Structure 1
């Protein structure tokens, strides 16, 4: 035991309340016990009381420095307040002044901890120390005189870094205040609880109390008993639990914090942990390249560019026999039996284990335990991790669920028609179906048709001009390359093998080259493919397997025929990449503007992939019954549609210099001012129009994309222009006003055309507006 004055703060500062060390409250409690105790304890209590009287310590107040040499007295207090079998060398226990400012008697363990941690790290933290004193005193005052629990937590935690392991440790601080007496020095102020109630748990609540309840009114006597107990394991478990239930989903930070808590549980900084979720798609394991993963095996595989293969083999094999696997040391013999371990060994791992983590009898992932600095005592580690395993199972399952949700969100956004603006209708239909199923039985319950009445349609199309011509040209150029390469390869074979059939194949190659140099149709493309698949390629494959001297030239030929990177498909790949770039840019624009579009009034927006991008928009009261509809919303949407076409034209025009094959787009709008009805088709997972008149609108949309001007071969849709098709001028007047406005904004050119269109099957009287886009602005 150590008897000395140890101060929490190097600079004691002013005394915030009239307080002093006194044994009087303690002795009063002993005296009361002695008066009522009938056992042998009474003699012990009387003995202690006599000792205090002998040493003159039963008086009102004493200085801490005056009692540090009274070790026999202090040892009696220790014996009274602690169990007899307490191991003093490991027990963090101390006696301090009534207001926590100084320690005057403590165990050796506490003294060493005080010097190495509290004094070394917090002795100059004046602000924290001052606030702690105020909170401590006010908690006692409010409890005694107003029966209010303030500044009282279940426990106070002290965190520090273990100098031996470098890991965080946590101690619970219990303050026994039974031997502290608070007395009044004047009248007790009337305190309106309502005035301070909302301040009670504020960080700076004591500042409010200083004004309402000055501490000059109180006197504090006695001593406090402090006990520190190690709660590191419990705190680490709680930290993992809190991280899992936190709404702030930051995978990287989450994994880092969880693994740090696992290291704290292990109590050994040389032990490392990895978490590897098993993500499944259609029953097969998939690897998501995510920095948040903390799997050492995955990190090693990433360095070798073999992570997908290793991940799939690992998951498939492990799921068949999910049991703990321990490798105390990674020797050369073990890596020969388990080649995947060689990746770990090459990265300095000397000890490795993998544990299956189960959640409801499913395997959402594994826990890795490993070290670079020596063999791990896995039995000891597992015992300390026991309480954390269920939490890790929940964490890994959450990762799997989040992955599944991401897939579902993409499917919902990209492939289905269930958008937020109409989701409410599907929710109602699903609920009505469940109620009918419960009431009438599953056999008779039918789900209702989802429909919306009287909605205004807007249709737009962004088409890639002459994409078919560009594709035919790309096929022609690639075919010429392949024929030339095939002929050259056959000539090389002829040097080693004298076969008349070689000359015949070379002849066919040359004839095909002449034919496609003039013109190449769809039928020619099919016949040429048959020539390669049925004649040329099987002939060349024979020599690939039988003539080693031709390996090089034949490998070059077959490498050229690969769709992914062969030179015989280079122009088609360039074309596909160019088309994809345009469509991706248009789709990206559509995705970005949709939130803004929905803000004014909810509407249904659906895109279709063609050679370019087409879209339908429906807006009306039935889509948002809880929000009053007005024609201003449809007018706003029509203006947006026209302006968006200008922006899309500008985007695609800017791509001309950025794509391998320059492609232009045309922009088309179909004006239809009358509302229509739409219903959801479950078979196609999309909305379609209802009624004979409405179907006519749908048919027209499909026919106007290639319509020509009346009495001319000129197509209505042209690059660098926006075309708007309508039936009568009254429908077009509104758009003419918008065009005039956008011309004033210098977004459109002053070249508006009013055009009549050719007759389509069953349709006459179509007209159009056409106006140029001003790219300079």
Structure 2
């Protein structure tokens, strides 16, 4: 209780009762009868101990004079109120109390011998400044209002934290300067008033121990647990932008203080009204007692329709004060009530969280003791629920914003480089409330396209091979199984399925047809598996073999899915890693000049880039930016090839990739298609570019059967001589940097339908020379390199 006495302070506390003794002397002199006799008797006793008047600095004497002090302060501490009032003599702000009432002592005893009482959120800085303010008010006559609410937080016998508001009375206290006290001017006080945070200034004007506080104060406490806990709850909920940061334990401790229930537990269950299910909330820090280890459950399987309607339409709480008794009285709901009892829940309150007619879920309050939660204390929720509801609504709103952002970033074609145009049109539409015109189409004219792809070579063939392997393996397993069953029971039906499976086995050795997979899968699932289930007796060898067969199947499709799974996983890994490289590098490329970017995952990764003045009208466009982006694209294709080269040994299925860049030097227009929610080229002439993109990757070198793309090489398709010259410079630069091989192939591309005259460069990727540590080369690096080589 004497923690504050060791803190640095401008005040030196001296406990004295001269004010009380002077009051007693006045009574003894000016009054007659019992009060005068009583005052004289007290004075005679007190005068034997002059330190009571002159002052006590050895606080152990307070215990020695305990009874006498109690008698001296009897008028201030009525015996009749000692079990009701929480009151003591003290020195304000110092954690020193004596002559406590019986109720105060009881509170401290229940807190435990190790409990150290201190004022909440009252640090050494505040303590020092407040002591200085006492001097300014009591000695200098100022009226500085430093009466911020002060609290003691003291646990009760059940461990529940109680919150007590502190009130001080300093009528019996004098402030006396010592020789060390600094005489303050008005300018000093003005400076102090404006500099609460400058502790060194306060220590300069109020040196440690430079003033004496002589006398005593009276501290009165009142139990403000509910008000304080509600305030703490509001603070916790408002302080954390993310509801996940508001911990379950913190909320529970606040609720326990309010309800005075030491084992009170809090939960939350989300309600999906569309699917009529209870489900786990997206914040994982508060558990659900309705669901426990389940992810979701139908509402009707937990609560009857009548109860749900009452909770939703009438906004009533579901209150079960005695779960066990309620179960006995309502056997129809025993499943849910048994579920509660299994969690040692003996009383509970479920409160719907509704805002603007939208139901978010249920707050759950549960206790392991019957009748702890009941219809009477449920009314406290009326004060608490609005704060929780607002927080949950805010959280779900922010969650929806985050979802919308992810959808916009990941699933739509509105790239941030062109977002300004969409925003401009949307604001125009919003500003003109009477505007009933259709939304304007978004068009960007005179932009230069860049197209590239890294494609999985022979993916269709590989997919067919993986399918054939899985089907052949499954048919082999089934033939072995049916032949075994036929030995046990020679039924014509079994023999027929053996014949049909052998026919399928022969067909699978031939070229796979388009409908083979669907036909075989339908036959196995609809005809073969039902027969096996018929012969699957609980015991015996047949049962074991059938069980072993089904264990080899994929749980979802009930087919052998080994080779196809490896193929799908490999394709997914390739696409993911290639896309990650492209996205990461693209973020850097935007710093050169803002441009539109989109990519697609197919059997590989394709990307489109569009650059031009119309996409970024606030920036000054130069053809150098197009040159820079083309050089960047070629480097990124090298890095994607290298990423695949490093990834390949860890892939579950052996696949190769090929890389292609299409060069198109004529500017085009792109238009956002409102129906498809994506950009596309605009106009008949520009459509030629799209035709080339769709047909080029499967084309051959003119006059041969050789594909223009090969693994380990990058193919650059172009039409004009100046494009070849430009890209040869890029290739030579990257060859010098060790990123590309030394040989450059040149050839004509076979004529495509509606497209002739295409040419191509092809160069190998140097997998050993692409571990660069200094970022991406720019067009300026190229020009500098060329100038230095002259």
TM-score by length of 2: 0.79
Decide which moves more: 663-672 or 538-547. Answer: 538-547
> How far, CA to CA, are the matches of 2:558 and 2:224 in structure 1?
64
Give yes or no for the alignment of 1:241 onto 2:234. Answer: yes
> How far, CA to CA, are the matches of 1:115 and 1:52 in structure 2?
31
**SS at 1:211 equivalent:** helix
Contact 1:8–1:119 under 8 Å retained in 2: no
> How far, CA to CA, are the matches of 1:501 and 1:118 in structure 2?
82
1:63-462 mapped onto 2 (5 Å cutoff): 63-64=55-56, 69-78=68-77, 87-97=81-91, 100=94, 102-113=96-107, 120-122=114-116, 131=125, 133-142=127-136, 145=140, 149=144, 152=146, 154-162=148-156, 164-177=157-170, 180=173, 182=175, 187-191=183-187, 199-200=195-196, 202=197, 205-212=198-205, 214=207, 220-249=213-242, 251=244, 253-278=246-271, 287=280, 291-299=284-292, 302=293, 306-309=294-297, 313-314=301-302, 322=311, 324-326=318-320, 328-330=322-324, 337-372=333-368, 376-379=372-375, 381-436=377-432, 438-440=433-435, 444-462=436-454
> How far, CA to CA, are the matches of 1:540 and 1:114 in structure 2?
78
**SS at 2:187 equivalent:** coil
Render the CA deviation track for 1:504-563: whole Å, top value 9, x for unaligned: 6654543443333132332xx35x744774x77665477568767688877887887868
1:558-707 mapped onto 2 (5 Å cutoff): 564=556, 566-630=558-622, 633-707=625-699
> How far, CA to CA, are the matches of 2:303 and 2:614 in structure 1?
50
Q: 1:107 to 1:569 in 2, by over 3 A?
A: closer
1:688 is displaced (CA, Å) by 1.7
> How far, CA to CA, are the matches of 1:709 and 1:605 in structure 2?
30
> How far, CA to CA, are the matches of 2:6 and 2:494 in structure 1?
104
* Number of positions where the alignment pairs a residue of Structure 1 with one of Structure 2: 738
- Alignment correspondent of 1:769: 761
- Alignment correspondent of 2:463: 471
Contact 2:349–2:373 under 8 Å retained in 1: no
**SS at 1:89 equivalent:** coil
> How far, CA to CA, are the matches of 1:690 and 1:50 in structure 2?
109
> How far, CA to CA, are the matches of 2:8 and 2:507 in structure 1?
104
Contact 1:330–1:349 under 8 Å retained in 2: no
Contact 1:93–1:228 under 8 Å retained in 2: yes
Q: 1:118 to 1:623 in 2, by over 3 A?
A: farther
- Alignment correspondent of 1:757: 749
1:45 is displaced (CA, Å) by 13
> How far, CA to CA, are the matches of 1:599 and 1:48 in structure 2?
91
1:611 is displaced (CA, Å) by 1.8
1:251 is displaced (CA, Å) by 0.9
1:448 is displaced (CA, Å) by 1.9
Q: Which runs of 5+ in 2 are unaligned?
A: 26-32, 312-316, 770-790
1:669 is displaced (CA, Å) by 1.8
1:720 is displaced (CA, Å) by 1.7
1:514-533 mapped onto 2 (5 Å cutoff): 514-522=506-514, 525-526=515-516, 529-530=518-519, 533=522
> How far, CA to CA, are the matches of 1:600 and 1:161 in structure 2?
62
Q: 1:70 to 1:231 in 2, by over 3 A?
A: closer
> How far, CA to CA, are the matches of 1:293 and 1:624 in structure 2?
47
Q: 1:552 to 1:352 in 2, by over 3 A?
A: farther
> How far, CA to CA, are the matches of 1:199 and 1:664 in structure 2?
71
What CA RMSD, in Å, does the superposition of the two structures yield over aligned residues? 4.6
1:417 is displaced (CA, Å) by 1.9
1:500 is displaced (CA, Å) by 6.6
Contact 2:89–2:217 under 8 Å retained in 1: yes
1:486 is displaced (CA, Å) by 5.3
Contact 2:278–2:298 under 8 Å retained in 1: no
TM-score by length of 1: 0.80
**SS at 2:73 equivalent:** helix
> How far, CA to CA, are the matches of 1:99 and 1:502 in structure 2?
94
Render the CA deviation track for 1:602-638: whole Å, top value 9, x for unaligned: 4332122322221212344443444555555544433
> How far, CA to CA, are the matches of 1:123 and 1:392 in structure 2?
31
Q: Which runs of 5+ in 1 are unaligned?
A: 1-6, 32-42
Decide which moves more: 327-336 or 414-423. Answer: 327-336
**SS at 1:296 equivalent:** coil
> How far, CA to CA, are the matches of 2:35 and 2:694 in structure 1?
103
1:468 is displaced (CA, Å) by 0.7
**SS at 2:711 equivalent:** coil
Q: 1:405 to 1:47 in 2, by over 3 A?
A: farther
- Alignment correspondent of 1:3: none
Contact 2:237–2:246 under 8 Å retained in 1: no
